[in-house]
Amino acid sequence: MMRQTSVEALAGACGTDTSQPKAHPLEIIPFFRRFRPSQFRNIIYTLIWDTGLALIFSVFALVFDPHASPLRVIWVNFVIANCIGFLIHGGFTVGNHLLGPILSRQSFAIRTLYYSVVSVLGVFAGYWLGFTLLTWREARASVFSAQGAITILLLSLMISAIIASIFFARERQAKAEAAFERERARVETAERQAQVAQFKLLEAQIEPHFLYNTLANVISLIDGHPSDAKRMVERLIEYLRRAATTTGAAEATLGRQIELLRAYLDIIVLRMGDRLSYRIDVPGELAALPLPPMLIQPVVENAIKHGLEPKIAGGTVRVQARREGATLVLEVEDNGLGFRSIRSKASTGLGLANLRERLASLYGGRARMEIEDRAPGTRVTIALPDPGST
């Protein structure tokens, strides 16, 4: 009876979920959910399950018969357990291949019947095969006797019902986990859309101001300096063209943002004349890195508006990008009036505080922005995870 009980437990345990052909009952233990489902993995899981149960029932057998040879008891249970376990494993694998889509739509009762039939057939066949391998002819004959058959059938049905309940509980858990992941993805998408919408709103507030000032400068240049007015219009068209392709998506590349920044600075140079010069030092290998839009330009705008334009002699603004390990460092430095002047004036639009909030929203604690008073001038450093290192 002890040997039969161990086998009945294996009968239901080694099945596979009909709604998830690659699932395995060993996944009721959280550790075993860490590995990707596959037929090879399920074979290993079945071997582990069978061996574990064989050891458990060997302990029971030795408790009731302490004079028995431990190695002999373990070997017998191991052979019979794996014969039954792998026959049921094969039965469910074939059944899922042939009937999986149909069974997944059936009721609990129909699917429990399926588990039971496959398990019972696997138990009978496994007993017969195990006793054959062990050359136990009398025990093999008892499998098909009236008493042996009834005992195997009743215990198999009971264990199969328990295992079916485990499968359905696991299925409900898997569905709940999938629903949770879908909801989390939906929330993340909504948050990203909200961030983009907020950015677009702020961007829409800034661009008309820049556009109006530029057009006003064009008008003032038309009569006295028509060639300068023409160049300014050309650079404005170039800026708008690049802005449409760079900020039209949630993400842009560093290279495209630098091209947009260069067009913007060309317009400001035409407006300020010799009072403004700029340098951009960005290695070519960094140009293709993905980067959220409008991370650099707001800093340059602040440098010009608050540091260089109010300064009678003007000055220079320098933009630099470099890698430092797994960090992408962006720097904007000017030799204008300095950060104290910036703090003393009310800033409107997409200012540095807004930029800091965007960095926190996009990267959390993995990004930082530092503002340093250079006396003269200001240096703003943005450090964020290097998108090329992931």
Average pLDDT over residues 41-50: 89
pLDDT of residue 190: 67
Does 342 or 305 have the greater pLDDT score?
305
Query: Which of 14-23, 194-203, 242-251 has the least mean pLDDT?
Result: 14-23
Does 207 or 103 have the greater pLDDT score?
103
User: What class does CATH assign to 223-389?
Assistant: alpha beta
Average pLDDT over residues 148-177: 73
pLDDT of residue 381: 94
CB 385 within 8 A of CB 323: no
Instruction: Give the residue among 137, 136, 46, 140 at the shortest CA–CA distance from 84.
Output: 46
At 23, the pLDDT band (50, 70, 90 cuts) reads low
**Is the per-residue pLDDT at 325 higher than 80?**
yes
**DSSP secondary structure of 29-41:** SGGGGSSPP-HHH
Residue ranges per domain, the chain? 2-184, 223-389
**How far, in Å, CA of 105 to CA of 107, rounded?**
7
Mean predicted lDDT score pLDDT of the chain: 78
* Residue range 133-142, pLDDT digits in tens: 988 877 777 7
pLDDT of residue 20: 43
**How far, in Å, CA of 130 to CA of 170, rounded?**
31
pLDDT of residue 196: 62
Does 155 or 258 have the greater pLDDT score?
258
DSSP for residue 250: S
Query: Which of 35-44, 209-218, 288-297 has the least mean pLDDT?
Result: 209-218
Residue 184 CB burial class (10 angstroms; 0-12, 13-18, ≥19): exposed
CB 321 within 8 A of CB 283: yes
State both tokens at 362.
């996009």
State both tokens at 24.
């395995």
DSSP H helical ranges for 104-145:
108-133, 137-142
Instruction: Give me the phi and psi of 328, to 5 degrees please.
Output: -100, 125
**H or E element, residue 253:** strand 252-253
Average pLDDT over residues 305-330: 91
**Is the per-residue pLDDT at 51 higher than 80?**
yes
Q: Which amino acid is at 21?
A: P
Pick left, alpha or beta for residue 332 (phi over 0 → left; psi -120 to 50 → alpha; otherwise beta).
beta
If you average pLDDT over each of 24-28, 34-38, 376-380, which comes out highest? 376-380
pLDDT of residue 37: 80
Average pLDDT over residues 301-318: 90
**Is the per-residue pLDDT at 353 higher than 60?**
yes
pLDDT of residue 42: 86
State both tokens at 338.
């300095």
pLDDT of residue 209: 65
Average pLDDT over residues 14-35: 63
Share of the chain above pLDDT 90, in %: 15
Average pLDDT over residues 48-70: 88
**H or E element, residue 254:** helix 254-272
Torsion over CA: 102, 108, 112, 113 (sign): negative
pLDDT of residue 197: 57
At 175, the pLDDT band (50, 70, 90 cuts) reads confident
Site of tokens 């574990």: 52
pLDDT of residue 79: 92
Q: Who contacts 308 (Cβ-Cβ below 8 Å, separation ≥6)?
A: 272, 275, 276, 314, 315, 317, 334, 336, 337
Task: Provide the b/e sequence for 340-353 (b: ≥16 CB within 10 Å).
Answer: eebeeeeeebbbbe
Average pLDDT over residues 201-215: 62
